[in-house]
Amino acid sequence: MSQPLRRAHHLQGVRYEIRGPLARRAHELERQGYEILKLNIGNPAQFGFRTPETMRLAIIENLAQAEGYSHQKGIFPAREAVVMETQARGIRGVTADDVFMGNGVSELILMCMEALLERDDEVLVPAPDYPLWTAAVTLAGGRAVHYACRPENRFVPDPDEIAKLIGPRTRALTLINPNNPTGAVYPREVLQRLVRLAEEHRIVLLSDEIYDRILYDGAEHVPVATMCEGTLCATFGGLSKVYRACGFRTGWVYFSGKKAHATDYLEALELLASLRLCANVPGQFAVQTALGGVQSIHELTAESGRLGRQRRALIRGVEQSKYLECVVPKGALYAFPGVSAKGRALLPEFDDARFAMELLEREHVLVVPGSSFNVPYTNHFRLTLLPDEETISEVFVRIERQLDRWAKVS
């Protein structure tokens, strides 16, 4: 008998439960004829959001130029559009040579870690985090050191706590702002202190800003690159979320701040970009139109806009629950509700993974357990606010019904 074919050792500890066992079980239930309300992934197209027409036309009109490979860093018009965006935001010193286009931000995160880390190097990563960040560090042979973004602090990191985690193997500090999964938007003064930490310890600052224009209630997103001059700063953005174009798989990273000492690292990153030949070329032709055109996301995030209304429906659903509480999201496409102190008294044995599976089996609602986002507690879950108001209201009716069942058992 053949020996079992095992996964590679370096995949031990790599998790991505957003598309894991729960999602696979949801697919099985759909094949059995059940309708599943899926709130596990921030995929705007799944909920009827469309990519702006001008971006679709830009791709169509340039298809004849998109049939071959592009430069490994990407087509010049897309990279130059990113440069012009940095200039408009007051970020200095970025040229087209400092911009890399990728097959979404996900690919670029993996490449940036692969080029940076030696075995057992450490990267500071928020908890909760978007789990690709932890996975990317692990795959590159490094160790993710998680810094707490606590619910009681509205999921905003504490620079003093982060400072205590910096050691001789620390190579980078990661920020996710606006934050996935919590919807937190970091205050300027917190970002200033984090930049100073990175500069003082000469570590790379990695800032995931894919949701930079998805803001609510007057929240301000501050690009961290506007503050960082004393160390290398990498800022990640793309078309997936703000421009509702997940399937285009078009993202970018640009480098700013102190770059003279990073020549070898950036050459290594270009080597990795060359090995995968290039990013999706058709999608790159939408970048110039996206960044230079009307920012239709603002109509959606306004209080009267679709995202604004759906966010309110989600907040109402939490407020009406006997068991839940939630830090109100100020940005991004998610909320991270948890069982409140009162709820814990009624549900003393609540476990997020078990709850999510039973919610799927009994109520046909798919959410993501909070512990999937690399936190030590098990009383939260993430859901997206992309469904329409009626669907969100129905989701919370079903969540409450499942929580009632648990309370009776407890």
Number of H helices, E strands in the chain: 15, 14
To the question of domain 9-50+299-409 being in CATH 3.40.50.720, the answer is no
Neighbouring residues of 299: CB distance < 8 A, sequence distance ≥ 6: 305
> Quick one: angle between helices 352-363 and 389-409, nearest 10?
110
The token pair at 52 is 């702006």
pLDDT per residue as tens digits for the range 224-239:
999 999 999 999 999 9
Q: Using CA atoms, how far apart are residues 245 and 240, in angstroms rounded to an integer? A: 4
| Amino acid 407: pLDDT | 85
The token pair at 372 is 């999937």
Find, among 232, 170, 163, the residue nearest to 193 by Cα: 163
Q: Using CA atoms, how far apart are residues 356 and 383, in angstroms rounded to an integer? A: 11
To the question of domain 53-292 being in CATH 3.40.50.2300, the answer is no
C-alpha radius of gyration, the chain, whole number: 21
Strands 232-238 and 251-257: antiparallel
| Amino acid 409: pLDDT | 66
Residue 170, classed as helix, strand or coil, is strand
The residues with which 73 forms a beta bridge, in sequence order, are: none
Q: Using CA atoms, how far apart are residues 155 and 196, in angstroms rounded to an integer? A: 20
Neighbours of 164 (CB within 10 A): 9
Q: Using CA atoms, how far apart are residues 301 and 289, in angstroms rounded to an integer? A: 20
Strands 334-335 and 365-366: unpaired
pLDDT per residue as tens digits for the range 392-402:
999 999 999 99
Residue ranges, CATH 3.90.1150.10, the chain: 9-50+299-409
| Amino acid 373: pLDDT | 95
Residue ranges, CATH 3.40.640.10, the chain: 53-292
Note the Cα 329 to chain centre separation in Å.
14
149 touches 373 (CB < 8 A):
no
| Amino acid 5: pLDDT | 81
| Amino acid 226: pLDDT | 97
| Amino acid 251: pLDDT | 97
Q: Using CA atoms, how far apart are residues 178 and 329, in angstroms rounded to an integer? A: 9
| Amino acid 332: pLDDT | 97
Note the Cα 307 to chain centre separation in Å.
17
| Amino acid 14: pLDDT | 81
Q: Which residues of the chain have pLDDT under 50?
A: none
